[in-house]
Structure 1
Amino acid sequence: MSTTTDPIALTQRLIACPSVTPADAGAMAVIEAALTGIGFTVHRFAAGEAPDGPVENLFATRGEGGTHLAFAGHSDVVPPGPGWTSDPFTATIRGDLLYGRGAVDMKGAVAAFIAAAARVPDHDGTISLIITGDEEGPATFGTVALMDWMAERGIRPDLILVGEPTSSARLGDMIKIGRRGSVNMWIEVPGTQGHVAYPHLAQNPIPPLVAALNELAALTLDEGTDWFQPSNLQITDLHVGNGATNVIPGGARARINIRFNDLHRGEALVARVREIVARHTPDATVTAKISGEAFLTPPGALSEMVSAAIHRITGLTPELSTSGGTSDARFLSKLCPVVEFGLTNATMHKLDEAVALADLEALTEIYVEIIRSACA
């Protein structure tokens, strides 16, 4: 079996590239060589500048007209950290598992889709790959830049499959048909520094900040929907930095994160938080960054096609879920129906990240079924 059609060998070559966001470290060259060898036209470009860039991006296409199925993924990985049993960037097989950073998130899925495309050389319609090097980072110069590049050329897929590791206990037990939105907010409350014995000459910023945080923490944003769990607000940081026991601090700050379902929009949540904070401390500032809005691809033709492919190979009927964190599907959902399906996620971002060899082959065959169904 050639490297192109063998997902294990291709995964090993990708793992060997230490592509910690935003570094590419040769990963896109490996993908480009594999794709050009099976008839794809490959376009690559870099976007952005340090410290969040430059980011390498790739768009590849084969065929024309008909249904356009796009596979979206990323070649970047999170830092491995210390404590691995073997070199995280040397793909190592021990028993039935392949170890290495990115094995499941998500170099294994990228390799599986390329191998699947190699096994379906003749098809109707159009197949493309949308691959970024910025999914694990700020996501500023990756998929968004690719979408702009595609829009300038009038490229718009009909269906998008994102290869994130969505499976839970077994390959094929879950696909994602939506994701919650996410917004981070930084709250800064000014005060007036002074001696604790003379509080009338100072203004302590901590009590109003704590009062605001208590109200925010007690919020019930919603009760959830048919497809989404309830939205939730979490306080993720509280900082004063006062090293003295006899000084009222001159400022205090906190950070919150809200993961929200499709009953909300990010800006409306930011406005609500600002209103609550202002009632407790009018001089406070609230700075927000919306990482992505919630989206849902209602169950339909795409999820049915992916589910049927999974069932044919594994015998499982996957759960349709919107759980988990954000992914680049939050951007791609603006183009067309999107679902996410990939390897099991038990070891993603962990020490000794690993994928079962059998799962790589099974995922490839599932992707083969999806290509054949979409581009029959």
Structure 2
Amino acid sequence: MSDLAASAIDLCRALVRRPSVTPDDAGAQDVLEARLKAAGFATDRIVFSESGTPDIQNLYARIGTSAPHLVFAGHTDVVPPGNAASWRFDPFSAELSEGAIYGRGVADMKGAIAAFAAAAIGFVQRSGTGKGSISLLITGDEEGPAINGTKKLLRFAQERGARFDHCILGEPTNPDALGEMIKIGRRGSLNGTLRVKGRQGHVAYPQRAKNPIPQLVRLIEALIAAPLDAGTAHFDASNLEIVSVDVGNLAFNIIPAEAHARFNIRFNDLWTPETLAAELRKRARAAAEDADYELRFEPCNALAFLMPPDGFTDLLRAAIEKHTGRKPSLSTSGGTSDARFIRAYCPVVEFGLVGATMHMIDEHAAVKDIEVLTAIYSTLLEDYFSF
């Protein structure tokens, strides 16, 4: 194993040992900041706050002052491990076993942070800082409400004069093997609630009541009966999933007064939240009959977007093929990510580790994959600052 790879593995395990479950950073960004400062990066630690939301630790690090400016982005926060007794090893021990590191967040996405931090430090040690600028944009709020994280950190950097030329986000983009997939966009995400009011009464006297459940079922069917679209060249078809149906009724002899359903829509670039809401309201009106209903949508900060492939995408694909032998596909699949905020500032693509075990019991990443990912990022830096 090269010194560069060993540095990435060591940093990865140090990060995983910090139980940084959103919103508690637990010292993870301290670990990363210390490595970057020792390599000459200027660092800023910023805590963003907003009423009704937790305070969030963020880290911005930069070396160099000129263009081109390449930024690596990621998050040190992780989802809860669940029942630790169900894990093969303690979820925050970063145990090394059978060629893999086990621990919450190793795949999503502390392994990638360690890889791009080691690659950036190695590049600076080899080439100095005269060819441009490298930044790291690290938040602790990606797995949470994403209010006091990347969105505000980008504004912080911009207000201090930072102008980014390209960004790579280290989310775990590969389904099964390193090198399979680059994300060049993401679907949007819109949440909604359908609420139907009835009239409560005794089940033995239905004529005195009005059951909202059949009306709710009819309206749900109207929302999902027809496909929203057939997809586009880069996006799958938009999809509405009912995630909850509830009446809050524990009795067998009461017709409930109200019923509601909650749903999520993952939508492509044919829609905006506004046009999607209008379409669903139209469908509901057509099926409403005499239903007393409300269709409400949550504020949406996850719009569908696409980054058309460019020279930067070509550099990344070439680096991936060089070190894995695979030609990665360009995809917009998966959930949301902080790329939805970054894309307003510069072109952004996503490439990281294999995501097969992210958010699962016994989350792990192969040591070899972290080693190869570090080499990919290192080659990308060399090529980026020479073209």
With normalisation by structure 1, the TM-score equals 0.96
4+ residue segments displaced more than 4 Å: 1-5
Q: 2:177 matched to 1:170?
A: yes
**Contact kept in structure 2, 1:63 and 1:126, CA below 8 Å:** yes
The answer as to 2:287 corresponding to 1:277 is no
- What is the CA-CA distance between 1:200 and the residue it aligns to? 3.5
Deviations 1:318-357 (CA, angstroms, capped at 9, x unpaired): 1111111111111111111110000111111111111111
1:105 and 2:115 are equivalent in the alignment: no
Which secondary structure state, in structure 2, belongs to the residue aligned with residue 157 of structure 1? coil
Asked if 1 retains the 8 angstrom alpha-carbon contact of 2:190 and 2:297, the reply is: no
Gap regions ≥5 residues in structure 1: none
Counterpart check, 1:201 vs 2:204: no
The aligned residue for residue 368 of structure 1 is 378
Q: 1:287 to 1:321 in 2, by over 3 A?
A: closer
Once the two structures are overlaid, the 10-residue window that deviates more, 22-31 or 121-130, is 121-130
Residues 255-305 of structure 1, C-alpha deviation per residue, up to 9 Å, x if partnerless? 011001111111221222233334513542413232400111112212111
Shift of 1:243: 1.8
| Contact 1:182–1:290 (CA under 8 A) maintained in structure 2 | yes
Alignment of 1:317-332 (within 5 A): 317-332=327-342
Q: Note the C-alpha offset of 1:2.
A: 7.1
Please state how far the C-alpha of 1:152 moved relative to its aligned partner: 2.2
Are positions 1:245 and 2:252 aligned together?
A: yes
Distance in 1 between residues matched to 2:293 and 2:177, nearest whole Å: 52
The whole-number CA distance in structure 1 between the counterparts of 2:256 and 2:73 is 49
- Conserved in 2, the CA contact under 8 Å of 1:180 and 1:294? yes
Change (3 A) 1:308 1:218: same
Query: AA paired with 2:61?
Result: A
**What is aligned with 1:92?**
95
Asked if the contact 1:179/1:323 (under 8 Å) is kept, the reply is yes
Structure 1 residue 118: deviation in Å?
Answer: 1.4
Distance 2:250 2:292 in 1: 26
| 1:1-376 map, 5 Å | 6-48=7-49, 52-82=53-83, 83-121=86-124, 122-123=128-129, 124-279=131-286, 280=288, 281-376=291-386
Query: Taking structure 1 as reference, are residues 135 and 112 closer, same or farther at Cα in structure 2, changes over 3 Å only?
Result: same
Q: CA deviation at 1:69?
A: 0.5
How far residue 359 of structure 1 moved from its aligned partner, in angstroms, is 1.0
Question: How far apart are residue 246 of structure 1 and its match?
Answer: 2.2
Aligned AA (1:109)? A
Contact 2:192 2:295 in 1 (8 A): no
2-side partners of 1:190 and 1:154: how far apart?
A: 53
Q: Deviations over 1:74-131 (max 9, x none)?
A: 0000111120011110111112111111111100100111100111112511110110
Cα deviation code 1:14-67 (max 9, x no counterpart): 011000011100011011101101111101111125864111111111111121
| Shift in alpha-carbon separation, 1:175–1:94, aligned structure 2, 3 A | same
* Number of residue pairs aligned between Structure 1 and Structure 2: 376
SS across alignment from 1:150:
helix
> Contact 1:4–1:118 (CA<8 Å) still a contact in 2?
no
CA contact (8 A) 1:185 1:255 kept: yes
- CA shift in 2, pair 1:221/1:142, >3 Å: same
- Counterpart residue type for residue 248 of structure 1: I
Structure 1 residues 375, 5: CA separation in 2 closer, same or farther (over 3 Å shift)? farther
Partner SS for 2:299? strand
Contact 2:5–2:371 (CA<8 Å) still a contact in 1? no
Counterparts of 2:38 and 2:244, CA distance in 1: 49
Q: 2:46 corresponds to which letter in structure 1?
A: F
More deviation, 66-75/142-151: 142-151
Whether the 8 Å CA contact 1:4–1:114 is kept in 2: the answer is: no
Amino acid in the other structure paired with 1:190: K
Task: Decide whether aligned partners of structure 1 residues 3 and 36 sit closer, same or farther in structure 2, where only a CA change above 3 A counts.
Answer: farther
Measure, in 2, the Cα distance between the counterparts of 1:288 and 1:276.
18
Question: 1:244 Cα shift?
Answer: 2.0
Identity of aligned residues (%): 49
**Shift in Å, 1:199:** 3.0
Report the CA distance between 1:312 and its aligned residue.
1.6
Change (3 A) 1:191 1:156: farther
Contact 1:160 1:338 in 2 (8 A): yes
Residue identity in the other structure for 1:163: G
- The question of whether the paired residues in 2 share the 8 Å contact of 1:4 and 1:34 is answered with no
How far apart, in 1, do the equivalents of 2:221 and 2:175 lie? 35
- What do the CA deviations read for 1:172-207 (whole angstroms, capped 9, x no partner)? 111111111111101222222112233343222212
User: In structure 2, the residue corresponding to 1:189 is in which secondary structure?
Assistant: strand
What's the TM-score once normalised by structure 2's chain length? Answer: 0.93
